[in-house]
Amino acid sequence: MERTIQSALISVFYKDGLEPVVRRLHELGVKLYSTGGTQTFIEQLGIPCTAVEEVTSYPSILGGRVKTLHPKVFGGILARRDLAEDQQHVKEYEIPMLDLVIVDLYPFEETVQSTDDESKIIEKIDIGGVSLIRAAGKNHKDVVIVASRTQYSELLELLNKSNGATTLGERRRFAAAAFTECAHYDVAIADYFNRTAEGGNFQLSYGNKQVLRYGENPHQQAAFYGDSDALFSKLNGKELSYNNLVDIDAACQIISEFSGAAFAIIKHTNVCGVAERSNVSDAWTAALAGDPESAFGGVLITNQTIDKAVAEKINELFFEILIAPAFDEDALALLKSKKNRILLQQKTLFYPTKEYKRILNGVLVQDADKANFETWNEVGARPCTDAEKSDLLFANIVCKHLKSNAIALVKDKQLVGKGCGQTSRVDALRQALEKAKQFGFDLRGAVLASDAFFPFNDCVQMADEAGITAVIQPGGSVRDNDSIEYCKTHGMAMVMTGLRHFKH
C-alpha cells in the first residue's frame, strides 16, 4: 500500500545530517511542522515551517516538558486514513494530517556518562519524543517514522528514489527500527534506576549491530552489538571475528590488572604467556618464552607503547592481533607490513562490572571477579620472602584468568608453566610442570597459584619435588591441614587468600 508524504513533523535533538532531508522535503512540496530549536534550524535554511503551537493554540510549557503532547498533534499521526470515523474526527476538530514524523530522543545515556547530577539526568528522560515515535510506529500503515539520525541518509535515499512515496514494507521497516530505539532507551532508564532499586527483570540492550563473518565456527552466524570504537582505534588489519573479540575481551581483562610494564599472550581466552619487566621489550621476550609454541596465532596485549625495538621482535612471530595504548610511528610502519594483521590502539582500560551467560532457557548474571584476595594468611613453614610475595601476587592474578581447574607457575614475574581447563587439580599441575619442563625452566624458587583449594596434599608434594618454594590458594578444604602440614614439614611457604577464582 503506497502512501505519499505531504506533511511532516520534525523535532530533533541532533540536527547533524538533517539539512539535506529538510531541503528535499521542501522541494517535494511537503508542509513542515516543528518546535523550538528545530523550527529555528529549518527557518534559518530559508524554508517555511509552521510552529506546533500554531496548530495546538497552546504554548510550550513547564520549561519545555510539554510541547507536543496534544490531541491535534497525536490525532494527525494516529488517524487511520481509510477509516471514515477517524476522518470525520479529523475534519470536525481541524486536525492536520502528519505523514512523516522525524523525532529523536534526548541523550539520556550520554548524560548519565557525563554527570552525577540527578536533576540533569532526570530532565533527559524524554516523554514527548517517545510518545510521538510510538504513535507513528503504531500507525505505520499510513505514517513514516524516523527515530534516529542514523536513518537520515536512508530516508533521503527513499525521498530521492520515489519522490516522497513509500510502501507499507518500507514504513514497517522504519517502524521496527523506531520501536527498537524506544526499547533501548527504556532499558537504559530502567538500568539507571535499578542501580539503587533492584528490579525483578533482566534487561540489557546494545545497539550498533555489526554482522561478523561467522561465529566460533564457519557454519554459525554471528553478530557483535556494542561500541568497540569507544575502546579501540583500529590501525590495521582485517575485520574482527567472533573468536578475535572473545580473545580481545580476555586480553583486556588481564592486562588491566598490572601496573608495571607487562605483556600478555592470549590463546582461546587463556593466557599462555605473561610477564612484567622494567621495559616493554623485556616484558615481550619473557612473555613469549613462557610458551612460544602456543603463542603462534595468538592475541598480544601490552600496557606500554610499542617502539621499534620491540616491534622488530614481535614481527618475527605470526599473530592475529596486537593491542597497545600507543605505537611509535616507525614501529607501526613495520607492523603494518602484513595487511591482515590486526593492530588496535586501546583508548582506555577495560574490566567488566557484570558477567552474563545464557543458560538453559534463561540468563545467569554475576558480578565480575575483580578482587584478587580477601585475606593474606601465611600458614606455611615460614613467612614468604619479598620475592616470593611479589611472585605469588602475580601468579594469583594470572591463575584467575585461566579456565578451571587452573594452576599457574611463576618465577620472577614470568609465567613459566600453566595448566588450565582440566577436570582435576592434579592434572592441571601435571600439565603446568610439563610445560615448564618443555621450555627449559628451572622451577627451583618458583611459586604456584591454584584457583581453588587442594582437596589433598598431592599437589603441594608434587610442587615441592619440582623445586617450588611457595604456594598461594584460597583454602576451604576439609583437608586443608594436610597441605599445610606438608608445607610446614618441608619448609614451604603457603598463603591462603579466602577467595576462590573458578572460571568456566
And the C-alpha cell for 491? 619448609
Instruction: State the Cα–Cα distance between residues 364 and 12, nearest whole angstrom.
Output: 38
Phi, psi of 247 (to 5 degrees): -70, -35
Map residue 64 onto helix, strand or coil. Answer: helix
Active site residues: 138, 268
Query: Rounded to 10 degrees, what is the CA torsion of 225, 231, 232, 238?
Result: -20
131 Cβ partners below 8 Å, 6+ apart? 68, 69, 74
Instruction: State the Cα–Cα distance between residues 210 and 222, nearest whole angstrom.
Output: 9
Q: What angle do CA 344, 346, 347 make, to 5 degrees?
A: 135
Strands 209-211 and 7-11: unpaired
* DSSP-assigned letter for residue 350: -
- H/E stretch holding 241 reads none
* DSSP-assigned letter for residue 490: T
DSSP labels for 149-191? GGGHHHHHHHHHHHTTEE-HHHHHHHHHHHHHHHHHHHHHHHH
Spatial contact of 492 and 470, defined as CB atoms under 8 Å apart: yes
- Which CA distances in Å does 345 have to 235, 260, 316, 317, 326? 7, 19, 20, 19, 6
DSSP labels for 93-141? TTPPP-SEEEE----HHHHHHH---HHHHHHTS-SHHHHHHHHHHHTTT
Spatial contact of 397 and 257, defined as CB atoms under 8 Å apart: yes
Q: Name the H helices within 403-469.
A: 425-438, 458-465
Count of other CB atoms within 10 angstroms of residue 398: 25
- The 3-class secondary structure across 420-433, one letter per residue, is CCCCCHHHHHHHHH
Within 237-327, strands assigned E span 261-267, 270-277, 299-302, 321-324
Spatial contact of 334 and 311, defined as CB atoms under 8 Å apart: yes
